[in-house]
A and B are shown apart, each in its own frame.
Chain A
Amino acid sequence: MPRDNGLDLRGLVEPDRVHRRVYADPHVFDLEMDSIFHKVWIYVGHGSQVPKPGDYYTAQVGRQPMIMVRHTDGKVHVLYNRCPHRGAMMCGARHGNVGKAFMCSYHSWQFDTDGKVRSIPLVQGYEGTRRSPEDPDCSMKPAARVESYRGFVFASLAKDGPTLTEFLGEAKIGFDDMCDRAPEGEVEIVPNCFRVIQHSNWKIFLENQLDALHPAVTHEAAGRAAFDVEKDIERRTGKAPLYYHYLSAFTTPMSKWDQFQTVNYPNGHCLLQGYMGLRPRDPDTLAYEAVMRKHYGAKRAEEILSVNIHHVLLYPGLSVQSPLQQLRAVRPLGVDRTLTEIWHFRLKGAPEAIYRRSLGYYNLVNSPATLINADDLENFWKCHQGLASDGGDWVSFHRNAGQDDEENGVIKSRLGTSEAPMRNQFRAWIGMMASGR
């Protein structure tokens, strides 16, 4: 059996349970950086974050600090945030515009916005040396591969591997559902990123995204509080704003969550069906649906509007909530520290009232003053504490194991509370971690 530092990776993952070391062992985390985050497609950002030439945004891919930048020809490049001369970071701010060229603040080397070296001061000093300014290693190093799907930009730091669309497979429905809901077929990012750090392993967050067993328990307090106020507003005014329902939906009892199916794709991606009933019959929704029919025709508009998704998880680092245009990028910082970067989008061509729904969810659920994630993060911390202890070795994913339907590599759980999404994530995890070992 291949081993790394005494680690028997395949021994840590069984079809229905995993060893706690996959969450708590810093050595496993190091291997994850190399074998997963520095290899597969990792989300960098959305093209609308950098609308003009010279606009850039920094992003972490695994452990690598990268820059997403729009070049003068309109193409988006992803470069290492590092000067090839003496290694200084090129962009110290999180985002901005570099104008025509990047300039290193240390010795004033300049680079075009595709990373190619543009000028070196007193360049004659390199004459007769082993380094020619024409060498590719005098330019900023690009990510090995960059691809985008409907404006969502991904980078892979490995030269070889499947294309982005091959990697996403059918799970690209997360992006399709979000973009198709825009009458113009495109979304535009709202330039604000909420960032929250959780004291737990990154995989605990991913598992929770499709865990239909937890909302009724974890979010009981927030759900109940919102339900009470929602009823009170209805008594006073007849109708409460829709965003109360985002929160009060968490009072749905545990047994009801079984009605929502999960769909589990290759490479660890998974989908949870919608439960919030986001197609009300109020005047705003009807006006929006009329715009959709105008752009797409009645048949296609109906197809788009009847898609019913809650979350799509794009393994290993992205959660897309397409009907409310929310996106959470997961950036592992250490074995027990994880950053989430949270964004939301406007549907191009949709009425303002529809954007306000997305905004309501963003503010109430995804802001740093979240009424919901406060209790999730508490549980994630507790999980990590327990998994770092010697109180037991195995984490159980036995729920409804062996009772799911598989067809062409896609696993559909008959019940919403099946632990199929966790089993699916670890199926991908061990495939990526143990490949070549």
Chain B
Amino acid sequence: MAKKRAKRPVAKKKIKPGKAVAATPKPASANGVDVQREVEQFLFRQAEILDGRRWGDYIGLFAENGFYWMPASPEQTTGEGMPSIFYEDRDLMTVRMKRLTHPHAWSQSPLWGTSHLVSNVTVEKQDPRNGDVVVRSRFHMMEFRRETSRHFAGSYVHHLQRSAGGYRITLQRVDMVNGQGPYDYVLQAWV
């Protein structure tokens, strides 16, 4: 045991305090339209559709080439070629919907419901040419299934395409704070 003590690893980078963040972001607006209010209404409506188990309407919020993505870990920057908890285009979302609505989806027989709260909505990017936006928000979801409640919380990043009929999702990224812990049972529907 005559060895030298191993040095403790030390943080190499000095951490400096960051610059102050503007308390109030610039109001997002395009041609006089209140974009902040529009995207909030879109996110709230999406949550209502999900809690109402209106699976078809939910898929309809996505663009034809849209993806719902929950990465396996927060560092991931793409779902292509990487493990994901969900990485679903509209076709795979349709498989999920059809399973959920099949009379023999056995795990659907106990009483099951969710309640989503969406908040901290920030418009991060806005394309002045076409009105497309990237929106960050936070969510909290409570699920009740067979006498048991579960809670999931985290962030959403929505890439929204502006079209005549309103926004459509080209990519929804979901990162759950408790997404990497062991799952007590599984996730049957989108969060």
- A interface list, Cβ under 8 A from B: 99-101, 103, 110, 112, 116-120, 123, 133-134, 138, 190, 192, 194-199, 218, 220-222, 224-226, 228-229, 232-233, 244, 247, 339, 344, 352, 355-356, 359, 362-364, 367-371, 373-375, 377-379
Q: Tell me if A195 and B1 are in contact (CB < 8 A).
A: no
Q: Which residues 81-135 in B have Cβ within 8 Å of A in the complex?
A: 81-87, 91-92, 94-99, 102-107, 109
- Are B186 and A226 closer than 8 Å at their CB atoms? no
Q: Give the distance in Å from the alpha carbon of A371 to the alpha carbon of B8 in the complex.
A: 46
> Contact between A118 and B98 (Cβ–Cβ < 8 Å)?
no
Across-interface contacts of A218 in B (CB, < 8 A):
106
A228 & B98 in contact (Cβ 8 Å cutoff)? yes
Partner of A225, one of B5, B85, B98, B182: B98
Contact of B149 with A by CB under 8 A: no
Determine whether the beta carbon of A367 is less than 8 Å from that of B86: yes
> Contact: A371 with B106, CB < 8 Å?
no
Complex contact B105–A369 (CB within 8 A): no
- Cβ-based interface call for B72 (8 A): yes
Q: Which residues of B contact A (CB under 8 A)?
A: 1, 3-9, 70, 72-73, 81-87, 91-92, 94-99, 102-107, 109, 181-188
Supplied contacts A119-B6, A138-B1, A222-B99, 13 more A-B pairs, CB within 8 Å: A197-B185, A220-B102, A221-B106, A225-B98, A228-B98, A247-B95, A356-B81, A359-B83, A367-B84, A368-B85, A371-B99, A377-B185, A378-B107
Chain A nearest Cβ from B102, distance in angstroms: 4
Measured in the bound complex, the distance between the Cα atoms of B104 and A218 in whole Å is 8
Q: B83 contacts which chain A residues (CB < 8 A)?
A: 190, 192, 194, 344, 359, 362-363, 367
Contacts of A116 in B (CB 8 A): 1
If A192-B72, A375-B106 touch, does A369 touch B186 (CB 8 Å cutoff)?
yes
Decide: B85 and A197 in contact? CB cutoff 8 A: no
Are B1 and A196 in contact (CB-based, < 8 A)? Answer: no
Contact A374 to B183, CB < 8 A, known contacts A103-B8, A134-B1:
no
Whether B95 and A367, one on each chain, are in contact in the complex, defined by CB atoms closer than 8 angstroms, is: no
- Closest chain-B Cβ to A369's Cβ sits at a distance in Å of 4
Provide the bound-state CA to CA distance between A339 and B183, in Å.
9
A355: B residues at CB distance < 8 A: 81
15 A-B contact pairs sorted by A residue (CB < 8 Å): A120-B1, A134-B1, A195-B181, A220-B104, A221-B103, A221-B106, A225-B102, A229-B92, A232-B91, A244-B95, A356-B81, A359-B83, A363-B84, A371-B96, A375-B107
Q: How far apart sit A221 and B185, CA to CA, in the bound complex (Å)?
A: 18
How many Å from the CB of B11 to the closest CB on chain A? 14
- Closest Cβ of chain A to B177, distance in Å, is 14
Q: Which residues in A have their C-beta under 8 angstroms from that of B70? A: 369
Complex CA gap A195/B183 in Å reads 6
**Which A residues touch B9, using CB under 8 A?**
99
Complex Cα gap A367–B85 (Å): 5
Which residues in B have their C-beta under 8 angstroms from that of A226? 95
**B181 contact set on A, CB distance < 8 A:** 195
Complex-state Cα separation, A119 to B3, whole angstroms: 7
- Of the candidates A112, A194, A374, the one having the most CB atoms from chain B within 10 angstroms of its own CB is A374
Knowing A117-B1, A195-B182, the reply to whether A369 touches B86 (Cβ < 8 A) is: yes
| Closest chain B residue to A364, Cβ basis | B92
B6 touches A368 (CB 8 A): no
In the complex, A56 Cα to B92 Cα: how many Å? 37
The 10 closest A-B pairs by CB, nearest first: A225-B98, A221-B102, A101-B6, A195-B182, A378-B107, A221-B105, A368-B183, A100-B6, A225-B99, A369-B187
Return chain A residues, CB-CB under 8 Å to B73: 192
**Cross-interface CB contact of B81 among A101, A194, A233, A359, cutoff 8 Å:** A359
B182 and A339 within 8 A (CB): yes
Task: List residues of chain A with CB within 8 A of the CB of B99.
Answer: 221-222, 225, 371
Q: Which of B97, B104, B181, B188 counts the most chain A CB atoms within 10 A? A: B104
Query: From residue A193, how far is it (CB to closest CB) to chain B in Å?
Result: 9
> Within the assembled complex, what's the spacing in Å between the Cα atoms of A194 and B84?
10
Contacts of A228 in B (CB 8 A): 98
Contacts of B4 in A (CB 8 A): 119
Instruction: Verify B186–A373 contact, CB threshold 8 A.
Output: yes
Docked pose: A94 CA to B107 CA in angstroms: 31
Q: In the complex, what residue of chain A is closest to B191 when comparing beta carbons?
A: A369
> Complex: how many Å from CA A255 to CA B66?
39
